Amino acid sequence: MSNQTLLSLDSLTKRYGTVTAVEDVSAAIRRGELVSFVGPSGCGKTTLLRLIGGFIRPDAGRVVLDGGDITALPPNRRPTAMVFQNYALFPHLTVAQNIGYALAIRRRPRAEIARRVEVLLALVQLQELGQRLPAQLSGGQQQRVALARALSLQPKVLLLDEPLSNLDADLRVQMRAEIKRLQRELQQTVVFVTHDQEEAMSISDRIMVMYQGRILQVGTPSEIYERPATAFIARSVGAVNFLEGVLTNGTPGQATVTTSLGTLAIRSVAEGVGSGERVCLVVRPETIRLGPPDNGMGSNRVLGRIVSSMYTGALIRYSVGVGATRLTVDLYDPRHTAVFREGDQVTLILPEDPHLLPGTNAE
């Protein structure tokens, strides 16, 4: 995967009346990578995608592809291709005709179109379905046709607008893997838009978290998950506990944070937070261990009581009360770890290297 920037978004802004959909967004997308824009509805991700695709003109900023400014180009002249959320398959054309549409428009010879369509059908594993109409296909099959159609042009950038949100849960998981496989195989640059953070994390090379028209953080999935820049981001990529407290710097690599649960020792480095200032600890549920109640002595051990538990097969999610605070704790592989019931007293062992955020968890 080369590090060359293929697509560069420079200070893009788009307003609709008094509402700003995209505010001064800049990003660089590298050749061959799969980048996701993630965020809740209304955050501007689809607008951004459409700006890249050329369906909307920005009020300010530029879209630069492969060194050339394409901001003024209409969609039919941009080397981008989009897969729409509802697939937008032409209902009056067969699967083969759909896939071959772009080539037919360009007046390629029929034999060439047929060959290319064959290749693409094989790529998405729909070889026998060329003569079907879209209405005769299942959701997953339609999605693959849409994909094949977009790829027919060998676009420089493939744009996917929430392509999996109309599919059933297990199909979604399946298709995720398919898309990733294709992307790797073709070394295709992909911009992927979704509101599902788990989806984004599972396939992206990099994630760009968006909120209210701005990009909040850019990073690899693990960066986003383990080192979210804000509490909002932390919340949006998984369940999380926030512990507020005051930081006291000790020897390098050793600090304490005084929280409502007591004083915790941490090894994490807090950037930009000085001694005596407020911090917020980002503690993921799976990093807390539970044990039978002992007298809670020892570093980072507190006593608590199980308030509720939810068994979901691979894990049990407990809500544990420590004083007035509620902590979410996930215990994996319930067969081989101790299982607690509601009302049980437990000892919580908090991690020593939680991520630190300055300030409080208000966002």
Partner 1 sequence: MPTELLLDRPARLRDLRARVQVRALPTALALLLVAWLLIFIAVPVVMVLARSLAAKDGGITLSHFATFFGKAYFLRSLTNTLILGTGVTALVMGLGFALAFLVTRGPRALRFPLRAATLAPLVAPPYLFGLALIIVGGRRGFIAQLLGIQIPIYGWPGVIIAQVLSFLPVAFLMIENVLQSLDPNLEDSACDLGAGELDLLRTIIVPLASPGLLKAALLTFGLAIADFGNPALLGGGLSFLAPDAYLMITGEWNAEMASVISVVLLVPSLAIFLAQHYWLKGKTYTTVSGAPAASEERSIGPWLGIALILPCLAYVAAIMASYGVIILGAFTKLVGIDNTLTLEHFVKDVGPDAIWTSVKVSLAAGLVSAVVGTGLAYLCMRTEIRLRGFLEFITLIGFALPGTVMGIGYLLAFNRPPLLITGTLAILVLNMIARFLAVSLEAGVSKLHQIDVSLEEASADLGAGVLTTFRRIVLPLMSSAFVAGFLFTFMQSMISLSAAIFLVAPGRLLASVYIFNRARDGDMGISCAMSVILIASVAVCLWGLSLLARRTGMRILAIRT
92 binds partner 1 (CB under 8 A): yes
Residue 86 as a binder of partner 1 (CB under 8 A): the answer is: yes
Residue 76 in the binding site for partner 1 (CB under 8 A): yes
In the set 2, 59, 60, 90, which binds partner 1 (CB under 8 A)?
90
22 vs 207 by CB, closer to partner 1: 22
The least CB distance from residue 102 to partner 1, in Å, is 4
Structure letter (DSSP) for residue 205: S
Of 64, 73, 88, 114, the one binding partner 1 (CB under 8 A) is 88
* Residues 246 and 262 sit within 8 Å (Cβ to Cβ): no
Q: Among residues 12, 34, 38, 81, which is the contact residue for partner 1, using CB under 8 A? A: 81
Q: State yes or no: residue 75 binds partner 1 (CB under 8 A).
A: yes
Q: What is the DSSP letter of 269?
A: P
CA 40 to chain centroid: 11
DSSP 8-state symbol, 121: H
Contact between 58 and partner 1 per CB under 8 A: no
Residue selected from 32, 44, 53, 130 as contacting partner 1 according to rule CB under 8 A: 53
Region 13-32 residues binding partner 1, contact defined as CB under 8 A = none
Two tokens at 315?
């894990």
Binding window for partner 1 (CB under 8 A); candidates: 99-107, 210-218, 224-232, 257-265? 99-107
Instruction: Tell whether residue 323 is a contact of partner 1 (CB under 8 A).
Output: no
CB 137 within 8 A of CB 155: no
**Beta strand ranges found along the chain (DSSP E):** 5-16, 19-30, 34-38, 60-65, 68-69, 80-83, 157-161, 189-194, 206-211, 214-219, 241-249, 255-259, 262-266, 278-283, 289-291, 301-311, 315-322, 325-332, 345-349, 355-358
Is the Cβ–Cβ distance between 151 and 80 less than 8 Å?
Answer: no
Q: Which of 25, 82, 113, 237 binds partner 1 (CB under 8 A)?
A: 82
Total binding residues toward partner 1, as defined by CB under 8 A: 25
- Stretch 147-176 residues interacting with partner 1 (CB under 8 A): 149-150, 152-153
| Member of 3, 41, 105, 170 binding partner 1 (CB under 8 A) | 105
Nearer to partner 1, 96 or 306 (CB): 96
Q: Which stretch binds partner 1 (CB under 8 A): 51-59, 209-217, 225-233, 303-311?
A: 51-59
Determine if 332 is a binding residue for partner 1 (CB under 8 A).
no
Query: Which residues, other chains included, contact 90 with Cβ-Cβ below 8 Å and sequence gap of 6+?
Result: 97, 98, 101, 134
Residue 136 binds partner 1 (CB under 8 A)? no
d(CA 140, CA 123): 15
Please state, in angstroms and rounded to a whole number, the distance separating the CA atoms of residues 324 and 151.
55
Report residue 330 CA to chain centroid gap: 21
Identity of the residue numbered 339 = V
DSSP character for 76?
G
Minimum distance between the CB of residue 82 and partner 1, rounded to whole angstroms?
Answer: 5
Minimal distance in Å, beta carbon 233 to partner 1?
30
Decide: is 73 part of the binding site for partner 1 (CB under 8 A): no
Residue closer to partner 1, measured from CB, 151 or 215: 151
The residue within the footprint of partner 1, chosen from 13, 15, 42, 55 (CB under 8 A), is 55
Alpha-carbon Rg of the chain, whole angstroms?
25
- The length of the chain in residues reads 363
Structure tokens at 109: 């010879």
Write out the residues near partner 1 by the rule CB under 8 A. Answer: 53-55, 74-77, 80-82, 84-86, 88, 90-92, 101-102, 105-106, 149-150, 152-153
